Amino acid sequence: MSATYRIAEAAQLLGVSDDTVRRWIDGDRLGASRGTGGPAQVDGADLARVAQELHEAPAPGTTSGSSARNRLTGIVTRVVRDTVMAQVEIQCGPYRMVSLMSREAADELGLEIGVRAVATVKATQVSVDVP
């Protein structure tokens, strides 16, 4: 089962306004469900799909002055596991982060498409935390 997010959380992860997320839900660009009288919940897997569409990697040399911070919050867009290792991709705003970790670590963190995660960058290593 995929994670779900409130509209404000989805907007923050996508880097857009709450109103934009509502328009995308109304226009069927982004799927959402509403429990009995509760707030709308955006499906994590669908959110991951839209995050990838919105933030295609920029062409080399076209980025303007920006400074990535050491902790980047995003949404898991891909997980590939084998018997020993796992490759986890996280869309953190316009940045696609990829981490290689033990399968055991990925399983313990519950990393699946649509799960919110934080990529912590130190030198050439990317560690993944779950908030």
| pLDDT over 70, % of the chain | 83
Instruction: State the average pLDDT for the chain.
Output: 84
pLDDT band at 3 (very low <50, low <70, confident <90, very high): confident
Nearest to 76 by CA among 113, 44, 109: 113
CATH architecture, range 70-123: Beta Barrel (2.40)
Decide: helix, strand or coil at residue 1: coil
Q: Which amino acid is at 37?
A: G
Whether residue 130 has pLDDT greater than 80: yes
CATH architecture, range 4-56: Orthogonal Bundle (1.10)
Q: In the chain, what are the domain boundaries?
A: 4-56, 70-123
SS3 breakdown of the chain: % helix, strand, coil, rounded to 5? 25, 35, 35
What tens digit of pLDDT does each residue of 64-83 get?
544 445 778 899 999 999 99
Give the per-residue pLDDT at 1: 55
pLDDT band at 123 (very low <50, low <70, confident <90, very high): low
Kindly provide the b/e burial profile for residues 83-103, where b requires at least 16 CB atoms within 10 angstroms of the residue's own CB. eeebebbbbbbebbbebebee
pLDDT band at 109 (very low <50, low <70, confident <90, very high): very high
Question: Which residue reads 């839900």 in tokens?
Answer: 25
Contacts of 64 (CB under 8 A, 6+ apart): none
Longest dimension (CA), the chain: 49
